[in-house]
Structure 1
C-alpha cells in the first residue's frame, strides 16, 4: 500500500496532505523532532525522531520506496528518496525526478557557495508561499498518488 511521508520541518501543506490521504484511505507519516500537534485522524501517524540534524530525513529515506510519495523541501533528502524509487514533491507541487534531481542538487550547492561568498550576508529568503502554490501542490499530490499506486502493482 502506498504511504505518504511528510518531512514536517517547515511544511506548509500538512493539512492538505492529510485531507488527500484520508480521501484515498492511505497511511501518512508526519516525521519530525517533535513540537507538532498530533492529528486524531486514524490514517495519520506522527513519528518523533531523536534530536539532531537530519534525523527525520534519515528516518524517511530508510523507509520510503517505490510506490510511496514523499513531501519535502529538502533537496538532499529528495535525492535519497528519488534513488529508492519513491515519488517526491516540493511543497509547491514541483516534482523531484531522476531527470532533474542532479540539477537541483547542483543549484543548491551553487546557491550555498554564493551565499557564503557574500560578505554582507544579505540575501533573499525566497518568495512567500501562495494560494497558487497550495493549489499546485494538491493537484500534484493527486497525480503522484495515482502514479505511485500503479508503481506498487
Structure 2
C-alpha cells in the first residue's frame, strides 16, 4: 500500500499529519502536484512534480495507483476514478469516499457546478476546522492500521 496525495490543494495541516503518519507507519507517501512541494527528508516521503495543466496531477495519480492504495483528495471526479481502480479515497476533511457514497457525491458536485454556472454564489467550503483535522487523522489511522 502507498499513499498518494493530490497535493496542489491539500491543506498544510493535513500534509503535516501525513508526514508524521508516513514516518510512524513506514509507508511510502507521494505528494503529486504541478508545483514544487517541500517535504521533510525521509525515505518514505517524496514529491512528484508534474507539468502544469488541467488535471495533469490527477491523471498521474490515476495512472500510478495500484489496488488498495490510499489517495488523499477532495476532488470528487478523481475520487470516483480511484474507487473504480480499487483504491481507497479520503478527503482532507476526513470523509471516506466509497462505492456506496461516491455517486451521490458526484451528483451533489454536478448540482453545485450548475448552481455556480447560473450565477448562484456558494462561497466555497468553510475553512478546515479542528473537528475536520480530527476526523482526517482518525480515518487515516484506521485505514493504515487495517492495511499495514
Residues 33, 56 of structure 1: 8 Å contact kept: yes
Q: Given the two structures, how large is their TM-score scaled by the length of structure 2?
A: 0.93
Highest RCO, 1 vs 2 (Cα 8 Å, sep ≥ 6): 1
- What's the CA shift for 1:127? 1.2
- What's the CA shift for 1:90? 0.5
- What's the CA shift for 1:41? 1.8
Range that drifts further, 70-79 or 59-68: 59-68
Unaligned runs of 5+ in 1: none
RMSD: 1.3
Unaligned runs of 5+ in 2: none
Runs of 4+ in 1 over 6 A off after TM superposition: none
Alignment of 1:35-46 (within 5 A): 35-46=36-47
The 1-side partners of 2:37 and 2:30 are apart by 13
Residue 95 of structure 2 is matched in structure 1 by 94
Q: Given the two structures, how large is their TM-score scaled by the length of structure 1?
A: 0.90
The 2-side partners of 1:67 and 1:122 are apart by 37
- What's the CA shift for 1:142? 1.1
Residue 131 of structure 2 is matched in structure 1 by 132
